[in-house]
Amino acid sequence: MSARYAFLVCLGAVALLGGAASPPPLDNGLARTPPMGWNSWNHFGCDVSAQLIRETADAIVASGMRDAGYQYIVIDDCWQVARDRSGRIVADSARFPGGMKPLADYVHSKRLKFGLYTDAGRQTCQGRPGTYGSEEVDARTYAEWGVDYVKEDWCHAEGLDAPAQYAKFRDALAKAGRPIVFSICEWGSNHPWAWGPHTGNLWRTTGDIGDRWASMIGIVDLSSQYALVAGPGGWNDPDMLEVGNGGMTDDEYRAHFSLWAIMAAPLMAGNDVRTMSATTRDILVNKEVIAVDQDSLGAPGMLVQTPVPDLQVWAKPLADSGRAVVLFNRSALQTVITVSWRALGIRGPARVRDLWNHTDLGTSTGRFSAPVPAHGAVMVRISP
Ligand code: GLA
């Protein structure tokens, strides 16, 4: 880490946390790198079923996504319909015949992990039963079913205190005795960057992503402000990926994926992996870009240069003392963008490798420039 970056990290952490001593980060041993997987919501909404989940698990294996690191298969809203007389949550028996346990077993048999969605309030966003008042029984039920990841939303939570409600579920999960990644989804409305690190493994920083360029870059601008609080065990979550859902061009999706990786964001695919095109697959399984996201240093990248409005340079320090760099062109014209070694805190010659074309670009000194497509990104690894 460069001295400048380390200084900014300290300064930012103090500013974001208000200078007060904060409780130690959650240490449940999970999410040492940003979680990777798939979630049903962005593509399927409420149209979830056991069959979809089984076919998705199969496709994640067959496409090479599992081998690229995608692990958690998460069913979002609408799997639950009621509580039984003992207060236990009940899955939709028409869509999930046999319930969740056999489905979790199937997912595990593929060497994948299984996740579910709930809501900290009285109901989920789609009006299904929420966890409020049932934290312990829900955490126990999920542990019995073999759940490895829980996303907890924030609908129908009027009058509730977000840090307290999420802490309640964190404690219930710990008591249930199964390692379960805890994904906080309260959209950034109660400053989760301040209490998320001691409460969950990831916390949404913004409202929902849409499958549109303007939505994606709006989220980047908001979420990246909180970069300094994230690290191994606790990550800012700028929401799930839209790659392959059809609302952006392939260049825009490559930029989306590059930016999520440079921010060290969770990489939760949100497309139909059973029918994706070869181009979508190649974006999602780009191992060199994924390696930046999953780098063991766990330092989220930041915006380091804005040569002119709409042209940006993002950089992320890596464990091997290299830097990942995204040259990000937000404009509608192809343009050359330059990153200077000064902005990266490095000196002398450095090797440059293109992470989308998988080619070595030789050694540069002082700066590196490349043409960047309109609404697109070039991503390189710079090794001093
Ligand atoms: C909220 C969340 C989304 C999704 C939906 C489901 O909008 O932010 O990610 O979980 O609810 O209803």
CA-closest residue to ligand 1 atom 9:
208
CA-closest residue to ligand 1 atom 3:
208
Gyration radius (Cα) of the chain, Å = 21
CA-closest residue to ligand 1 atom 12:
125
- Pocket of ligand 1 contains residue 184 by CB under 6 Å: no
Among residues 148, 153, 272, 295, the one annotated as catalytic is 153
d(CA 169, CA 152): 9
The answer to whether 171 is a known catalytic residue is no
Residue 2 has a pLDDT of 45
Residue 46 has a pLDDT of 98
- Pocket of ligand 1 contains residue 185 by CB under 6 Å: yes
Q: Say if residue 7's pLDDT is above 60.
A: no
- Pocket of ligand 1 contains residue 180 by CB under 6 Å: no
User: What residue has token string 């970056």?
Assistant: 5
Taking the model in full, what pTM does it have?
0.95
- Pocket of ligand 1 contains residue 242 by CB under 6 Å: no
- Pocket of ligand 1 contains residue 119 by CB under 6 Å: no
**Best mutation site among 77, 116, 149, 190 for ligand 1, i.e. most ligand atoms within 8 A of its Cβ?**
77
d(CA 151, CA 184): 6
Q: What is the pLDDT of residues 281-301, one digit of tens each?
A: 999 999 999 999 999 999 999
Portion of the chain with pLDDT greater than 90, in percent: 94
- Pocket of ligand 1 contains residue 77 by CB under 6 Å: yes
* 210 CB-contact burial (10 Å; exposed 0-12 / middle 13-18 / buried 19+): middle
Q: Which atom of ligand 1 is nearest to the CA of 208?
A: 8
Q: What is the pLDDT of residues 202-224, one digit of tens each?
A: 999 999 999 999 999 999 999 99
Q: How far is the CA of 208 from the centre of ligand 1 (A)?
A: 7
Q: Say if residue 182's pLDDT is above 80.
A: yes
Residue 1 has a pLDDT of 44
Q: How far is the CA of 315 from the centre of ligand 1 (A)?
A: 30
Beta pairing partners, 118: 152
- Pocket of ligand 1 contains residue 209 by CB under 6 Å: no
The answer to whether 208 is a known catalytic residue is yes
Q: How far is the CA of 126 from the centre of ligand 1 (A)?
A: 8
Q: Say if residue 273's pLDDT is above 80.
A: yes
pLDDT higher at 15 or 245:
245
- Pocket of ligand 1 contains residue 126 by CB under 6 Å: yes
Among residues 208, 250, 251, 282, the one annotated as catalytic is 208
Q: What is the pLDDT of residues 221-264, one digit of tens each?
A: 999 999 999 999 999 999 999 999 999 999 999 999 999 999 99
Q: What is the pLDDT of residues 20-59, one digit of tens each?
A: 567 899 999 999 999 999 999 999 999 999 999 999 999 9
- The answer to whether 42 touches 211, Cβ cutoff 8 Å, is yes
Residue 22 has a pLDDT of 78
- Pocket of ligand 1 contains residue 156 by CB under 6 Å: no
Tokens encoding 51: 């069959």
Average pLDDT score over residue span 325-331 = 98
CA-closest residue to ligand 1 atom 8:
208
Those residues with Cβ within 8 angstroms of residue 170's Cβ, 6 or more apart along the chain or in another chain: 26, 182, 199, 200
Q: Say if residue 333's pLDDT is above 70.
A: yes
CA 288 to mean position of chain CA atoms: 17
Going by C-alpha positions, the residue among 110, 77, 70, 109 that lies closest to residue 92 is 77
Residue 19 has a pLDDT of 47
**Dihedral angle over CA of 158, 26, 89, 36, nearest 10:** 100
Q: What is the pLDDT of residues 117-175, one digit of tens each?
A: 999 999 999 999 999 999 999 999 999 999 999 999 999 999 999 999 999 999 999 99
Q: What is the pLDDT of residues 336-374, one digit of tens each?
A: 999 999 999 999 999 999 999 999 999 999 999 999 999
Residue 20 has a pLDDT of 56
